[in-house]
Amino acid sequence: MEEKTISRGGISLGDIPVWSWLVAALLLLAFFMIMSSSGGLLAPYIGQLAGATDYLHEFAHDGRHLLGVPCH
Amino acid sequence: MIATLLRRGLLAGLLAGLLAGGFAFVLGEPTIDQSIELEQMASDGHGHSHGEEGGEEEPFSRTGQKVGLFFATGLFGVTSGGIFGLAFAYFRDRLQAASEWGRSLSLAGAGFLAIFLIPFLKYPANPPTVGDPETIGVRTTAYFALMALSLAVVIGGWAAARALRRRGMGTPARQALVVAGCAIVVATAFALLPASPDAGEFPAGLLWEFRMSSLGTQAVFWIGLGGAFGLLGERAARKRADA
Ligand SMILES: [Zn+2]
């Protein structure tokens, strides 16, 4: 019984299509944008946009505290 | 199939995120309000300077930030839920649980442990005013490094347990070995990473309440995600069986 459930296959990592890796990367990026206080850290790379993410961070402020990520 | 699981994850994540937002709104917001009041009382006591001298203009009112709470938990939910759905595509046929419901809940349990609970034990959530703004960069890096490590430990522990089961190792020995191994790695990381910020004069009771509401918010999210994803999966399975 146990043998059977173990040998059940499942897709291998190689079978996962490229698009789903891309989607995963995008979701991960969005996750970090909202969850980390990255405004300052990203400024050298995205310039003006960093100001917009700061704005978002202030809006999401209480959520970030309650979800447990460092904020202040 | 993967696209279906992704969509299911995004939807379940959004629902769970909004549910967690509701929990946080009712039980967490009062503690944030009290923390901010304390902060303002402290700064009034020092200089008798209302607002003006405080420097930066806050772009959002407290009411605005409470609306933002749902934006934050919703977006946290959608992104985590989408990744959860993709991860489910890989883990689905490798998990022990026999039903969609059981598999979904066990993957959500692993997510709660790796993404939130292990990092929380070292770096518990802090309300506004606790923590030096100067060190926010270091603290953020340490927090996400620990999150990545605990995710690696949970996946590694799961893979090791699976390999040992295949080799025929008995359940008690296997579980003791895997749990001990994971605990050693986590304890070593806890010892090496920088300490959690000092709460200073902040009232201990309020701090505890805030942290419990944070723990509750995340617990509601992961239970909601596992539950909603599981229900949607069960419904799809029934439809397939009927067809
Ligand atoms: Zn904050």
User: Domain residues of chain B, as ranges?
Assistant: 1-46+60-130+202-243, 132-196
Q: What is the mean pLDDT of residues A14-43?
A: 82
Specify the pLDDT at position A50.
Answer: 63
Of A11, A23, A63, the CB nearest to B72: A63
Q: In angstroms, what is the span from residue B64 Cα to ligand 1's centroid?
A: 14
Nearest chain A residue to B147, by CA = A69
Model confidence pLDDT, tens digit, residues B84-127: 999 999 999 999 898 999 999 999 999 999 999 999 999 999 99
Average confidence (pLDDT) over B39-57: 55
Residue B91 in contact with residue B226, Cβ under 8 Å? no
Angstrom distance (rounded) from CA B166 to CA B161: 9
ipTM score of complex: 0.89
CA of B17 vs chain A CAs: smallest distance (Å): 10
Average pLDDT over residues A47-71: 82
- With respect to residue A72, please indicate whether it lies within any of the assigned structural domains: no
pTM: 0.89
Q: How confident is the model at residue B53, as a pLDDT?
A: 37
Domain that holds residue A23: 15-67
Structural domain contains residue A40: yes
Q: Classify residue B134 by its DSSP letter.
A: G
The token pair at B236 is 């799809």
How close A48 comes to chain B (CA, Å)? 17
Task: Determine whether the interchain pair B79/A34 forms a contact, defined as Cβ–Cβ distance below 8 Å.
Answer: yes
For residues A66 and A60, what is the distance between their CA atoms, to the nearest angstrom?
10
| pLDDT at residue A41 is higher than 90 | no
Out of A32, A34, A70, whose CB is closest to B72? Answer: A34
Q: Could you read off the pLDDT of B30-41 as tens digits, one per residue?
A: 999 999 998 888
> In the predicted model, what is the mean pLDDT of residues B47-73?
70
Give the chain A residue whose CA is nearest to the CA of B92: A10
A-chain residue closest to B4, CA distance: A20
- Asked if B218 contacts A67 with a C-beta cutoff of 8 angstroms, the reply is yes
Distance from CA of B63 to the nearest CA of A (A): 10
